[in-house]
């Protein structure tokens, strides 16, 4: 089928049809409702025109869709640039996060170091103040006639008093009656060869000996047969007595007056 169009009419030419078929189609006629006969050739022309219009519409639709779906000129390059910029920004953001993490770790480490240095400074300050006090105490007690031995200063009285009065005097001097925790301290007392009160008593509970700082007796140097306190005698206080012997302790009554020995511990 070939279609030719000009200003006045559209001509449809049928080709490649057998002569018999062409004659058959040409001889056919169409009768309308009002009895008017329509030649078959005119009907075919109408069908052909409609088909051609559909083809033109299809072509136009395809062109429109292609134009609509195709990117504008230069869009591929712009898209590529935007993709590269996006990737670069992601890379910058990743590097920034890593830098922030590193800075945070460094900050925390600096805080720990500063805290440690502050702690060390406080410790050194405390130690320095303790040493100052110790030096001042050394100067004070040395000038007051005290004797230094094994980390403590000792004061030996020149008069006699009861155990309680002796302890009160030691407290007024910033010390207390002597506490003996070692054989070396026990030997230290023997060289004065005087009967001297020390800070040991069982006045709270009979037979339960405690030092003046509240600690229980663990190392003792009782003379043979001592302590021999019994109910009614009130021998609740201890003095170093028998200096010719290593074990020289003796329990005595509170009304007895003796010399005494005070101890000022100098440890920090």
Quick check: helix, strand or coil at residue 165? helix
Q: Residue 166: left (phi > 0), alpha (psi -120 to 50), or beta?
A: alpha
Does residue 109 contact residue 102 with C-beta atoms inside 8 Å?
Answer: no
The β-bridge relationship of strands 196-201 and 259-265 is parallel
Q: What is the pLDDT along the chain (268 residues), one digit of tens a residue?
A: 444 444 344 344 444 444 444 444 444 444 444 555 555 677 778 888 888 888 888 888 878 777 776 666 667 777 788 888 898 898 898 888 888 888 899 999 999 998 898 888 888 888 888 788 878 878 888 888 899 998 899 999 999 999 999 999 999 999 999 999 999 999 999 999 999 999 999 999 888 999 999 999 999 999 999 998 765 678 999 999 998 899 999 999 989 999 999 999 886 4
Does residue 161 contact residue 233 with C-beta atoms inside 8 Å?
Answer: no
Among 151, 166, 140, which Cα is nearest to 254's? 166
Does residue 226 contact residue 117 with C-beta atoms inside 8 Å?
Answer: no
What's the predicted TM-score (pTM) here?
Answer: 0.53
Among 226, 228, 240, 234, which Cα is nearest to 254's? 234
């Amino acid at each position: 089928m070939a279609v030719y169009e000009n200003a006045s009419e559209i001509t449809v030419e049928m080709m490649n049809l057998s002569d018999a078929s062409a004659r058959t189609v040409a001889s056919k006629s169409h009768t309308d409702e009002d009895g008017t006969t329509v030649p078959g050739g005119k009907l075919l022309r109408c069908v052909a025109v409609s088909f051609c219009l559909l083809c033109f519409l299809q072509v136009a639709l395809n062109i429109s869709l292609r134009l609509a779906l195709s990117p504008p000129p230069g869009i591929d390059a712009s898209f590529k640039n935007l993709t590269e910029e996006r990737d670069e920004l992601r890379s910058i953001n990743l590097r920034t996060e890593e830098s922030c993490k590193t800075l945070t770790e460094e900050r925390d480490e600096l805080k720990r170091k500063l805290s440690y240095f502050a702690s060390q400074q406080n410790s050194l300050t405390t130690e320095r103040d303790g040493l100052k006090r110790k030096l001042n105490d050394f100067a004070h007690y040395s000038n007051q006639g005290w004797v230094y031995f094994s980390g403590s200063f000792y004061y030996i009285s020149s008069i006699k008093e009861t155990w309680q009065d002796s302890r009160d005097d030691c407290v007024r001097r910033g010390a207390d009656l002597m506490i003996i925790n070692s054989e070396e301290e026990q030997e230290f007392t023997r060289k004065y060869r005087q009967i001297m009160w020390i800070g040991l008593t069982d006045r709270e509970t009979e037979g339960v000996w405690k030092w003046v700082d509240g600690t229980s007796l663990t190392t003792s140097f009782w003379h043979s047969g001592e302590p021999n306190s019994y109910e009614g005698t009130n021998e609740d206080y201890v003095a170093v007595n028998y200096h010719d012997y290593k074990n020289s302790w003796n329990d005595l009554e509170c009304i007895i007056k003796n010399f005494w020995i005070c101890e000022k511990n100098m440890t920090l």
